[in-house]
Amino acid sequence: MDRELERQLIKKAKENTAAFEELYSHYLPKIYGFLLNRTGQKELAEDLTSEVFAKALANISKFNDRGVPFAAWLFRIARNTLIDYARKKKEILTDTIEAFEPPPENREASATLGLVQDERKEFIRKTMKNLPEKYQTVLSLKFFEELDNDEIADIIGCQKNAVAVRVHRALRLMKKHLVGNPEFLENNF
């Protein structure tokens, strides 16, 4: 979404909550995808996504564009909502996951490839589950949501260089887990 259009929509949404709908429609798949990736549970991700947008709508008047994108503000709300949920439930998230992807165009040709890719994704998600939360978050934002380090820094509230360090450390820890499973590496990579 164009930053100028986003600013106009935010301004309208502050005056009329019905104008929030276009922002909601644009950011819903991104926030839902992030929460689905982190929770691994479709229904929970849907509930948390609803909560995120309810909080965003309730607090849209407090949003000030100080160079921080609206998306970063939403992802921060999503991250905090997820942390609050985990604290309340004291659960470890990300056990299983339903892929948040459109169905393949050619099911027959891609069925085998899809199974291999799903197996890889599941292994990566299970490996990520063993990492500290701050590393899980930064990897999810970087590789699943495809955000750049500036956007991630805005979301988690740190410097861009700190994001790069966290990504590096997280990938190093992931590598340790992957090296501990040579059969998977040989068969899939």
**Domains, in order of start, for the chain:** 1-100 (1.10.1740.10), 109-189 (1.10.10.10)
Q: What is the pLDDT of residues 81-126, one digit of tens each?
A: 998 998 887 644 443 333 333 344 444 444 554 555 666 666 777 7
Q: What is the pLDDT of residues 67-81, one digit of tens each?
A: 778 988 999 999 999
Asked if 152 contacts 163 with a C-beta cutoff of 8 angstroms, the reply is yes
pTM for the structure as a whole? 0.67
Residues 6 or more apart whose Cβ sits within 8 Å of residue 95: 40, 41, 129
Asked if 104 contacts 114 with a C-beta cutoff of 8 angstroms, the reply is yes
3-class DSSP state of 65: coil
Q: What is the pLDDT of residues 18-68, one digit of tens each?
A: 889 999 999 999 999 999 888 888 999 999 999 999 999 999 998 887 777
- Say which amino acid occupies 145: E
